[in-house]
Amino acid sequence: MAPGEDTGEIRERRQSDRAGFVPLIALSVIASVIGVAIGLAIDWFPTAAATQAGPIDTLWDVLVIVSVPVFVGVTATILYMVWRFRMRPGQEMEDGAPIHGNTRLEVIWTIIPALVILGLCVYAYAVLEDIEDAPAAQEMQVGVVGQQFTWTFQYPAGSEGDERKLVECPGKPAEGEKPVTSNQLYLPINESVKFKICSRDVLHSFWIPDFRMKIDAVPGIATDFRVTPNKLGKYEIVCAELCGIGHAYMRQTVHVVPREEFDAWLEKQGDRGGSAGGGQSAGGGSGASAAVDGKTLYTEGNGTSTACGGCHKLADAGTAGGVGPDLDDSLQGKDAAYIREGIVAPDKTVLEGFQGGIMPKNYGEVLSDQEVEALVTYLDETVK
Give residues in contact with ligand HEC (CB under 6 A). Answer: 246, 249, 298, 306, 308, 310-312, 323-325, 330-331, 339, 342-343, 346-347, 350-351, 354, 356, 358-360, 363, 375
Identify what 239 binds: Cu ion, ligand HEC, none; CB under 5 to 8 Å per kind: Cu ion
Query: What is the side-by-side order of every strand in the sheet holding 185-188?
Result: 185-188, 251-257, 233-239, 204-208, 213-217
**Nearest CB to Cu ion, comparing residues 35 and 360:** 360
Q: How far is the CB of 245 from Cu ion (least distance, A)?
A: 11
Contact region for Cu ion (CB under 5 A) — 12-20, 22-30, 97-105, 202-210?
202-210
Q: Is 73 exposed, middle or buried (0-12, 13-18, 19+ CB in 10 A)?
A: middle
144 interacts with Cu ion by CB under 5 A: no
| Alpha carbon distance 217, 237 (integer Å) | 13
**Nearest CB to ligand HEC, comparing residues 45 and 354:** 354
243 interacts with Cu ion by CB under 5 A: yes
Residue 114 identity? A
**Nearest CB to Cu ion, comparing residues 185 and 250:** 250
Identify what 28 binds: Cu ion, ligand HEC, none; CB under 5 to 8 Å per kind: none
**Nearest CB to ligand HEC, comparing residues 198 and 343:** 343
Q: CB within 8 A of 70, min separation 6: which ones?
A: 113, 116
Strands (DSSP E) contained in the chain are 140-147, 150-155, 180-182, 185-188, 193-199, 204-208, 213-217, 223-227, 233-239, 251-257, 313-314, 319-320
Nearest to 228 by CA among 154, 125, 139: 139
Residue 102 identity? N
Q: How far is the CB of 287 from ligand HEC (least distance, A)?
A: 23
| Alpha carbon distance 110, 125 (integer Å) | 23
Q: How far is the CB of 215 from Cu ion (least distance, A)?
A: 13
**Nearest CB to ligand HEC, comparing residues 156 and 342:** 342
311 interacts with Cu ion by CB under 5 A: no
Identify what 324 binds: ligand HEC, Cu ion, none; CB under 5 to 8 Å per kind: ligand HEC
Contact mark string toward Cu ion, 93..132, x via CB under 5 A: ----------------------------------------
Q: How far is the CB of 340 from ligand HEC (least distance, A)?
A: 8
Nearest to 61 by CA among 127, 130, 110, 133: 127
Give the side-chain half-sphere CA count within 13 A for 362: 21
**Nearest CB to ligand HEC, comparing residues 118 and 248:** 248
**Nearest CB to Cu ion, comparing residues 142 and 292:** 142
361 interacts with Cu ion by CB under 5 A: no
| Alpha carbon distance 106, 95 (integer Å) | 24
Identify what 204 binds: Cu ion, ligand HEC, none; CB under 5 to 8 Å per kind: Cu ion
| Alpha carbon distance 26, 38 (integer Å) | 19
Identify what 243 binds: ligand HEC, Cu ion, none; CB under 5 to 8 Å per kind: Cu ion
SS (HEC) of 178-215: CCEEECCEEEECCCCEEEEEEECCCCEEEEEHHHCEEE
Contact region for Cu ion (CB under 5 A) — 17-25, 103-111, 174-182, 242-250?
242-250
Q: How far is the CB of 181 from ligand HEC (least distance, A)?
A: 16
Helix, coil or strand: residue 241: coil
Q: How far is the CB of 248 from ligand HEC (least distance, A)?
A: 10
Identify what 350 binds: ligand HEC, Cu ion, none; CB under 5 to 8 Å per kind: ligand HEC
Strands (DSSP E) contained in 265-324 are 313-314, 319-320
Residue 131 CB: number of other CB atoms within 10 A? 20
Measured in degrees and rounded to the nearest 5, phi and psi for residue 300 equal -125, -15
239 interacts with Cu ion by CB under 5 A: yes
Q: Is 159 exposed, middle or buried (0-12, 13-18, 19+ CB in 10 A)?
A: exposed
204 interacts with Cu ion by CB under 5 A: yes
Positions that interact with Cu ion (CB under 5 A): 204, 239, 243, 250
